[in-house]
Amino acid sequence: MQALRYIAIEGPIGVGKTTLAKLLAEEFNAQLILEEPEKNPFLPDFYKNPVNFAFQTEVFFMLSRYQQQCELAQQDLFEQMKIADYIFAKDWIFAQTNLSEPEFELYQSIYSLLDTKVPKPDLVIFLQASVEVLRKRIKQRGIPHEKSISGKYIESLCHTYNHYFFQYEDTPLLTVNCTETDIVRNHQDYKEILKGILHMKKNQIDKHYVSISSQ
């Protein structure tokens, strides 16, 4: 594995991507790159009425994240380490879950043109958690428009994520089962994830799995 200059974290809603990204950015003195879902004007309506607002929501996310990734590509990736709380393929994963077949075909035609132009991370960290844990964490963070997210939707999203990363070969991948973790209250949980990252770098491996059980 080459030097870790760009790490991206991915996983379903409520799994802890942004929290981990902030901790790693502090750990490595890295530039923090965060997705900005609150800037999507269609998102609140999507959670109320997914059928009518899915396409607008996903296209807005795709284009806004593409713009952010283009700005990243123009920077010197060797100047300072970058930590992101998403990968560009996040848009494709959500679109596959949320769009009808004709909508997804149109979305895919746009996505395929943009994907080749964004920088690829040196390492992707995929965070997993059970549907029950994700629902609990979503409720705890209390974002108003997320209150209507159903367990069925989260389950479908988890399935799509797991299927995507089971076949993932674009970059080195660290998969972390964090159903029983709390990296905010239990620093040892965070250290276990950090240990997994350093293990991959030291041993030059492309795939690694970490399962953490909090005491």
User: How does 173-190 read in b/e, with b if 16+ C-beta sit within 10 Å?
Assistant: bbbbbbbebbbeeeeebb
Active site residue 115: no
Of residues 76, 85, 91, 206, which has the active-site annotation? 85
Contacts with 175 (C-beta within 8 Å, 6 or more apart), sequence order: 125, 126, 128, 165, 207, 208, 209, 210
Q: How far apart are CA 21 and CA 27, in angstroms?
A: 10
Crossing angle of the two packed helices 101-115 and 50-73, in degrees rounded to 10: 0
Angle at 26 between CA 20 and CA 27, to 5 degrees: 85
Active site residues: 85
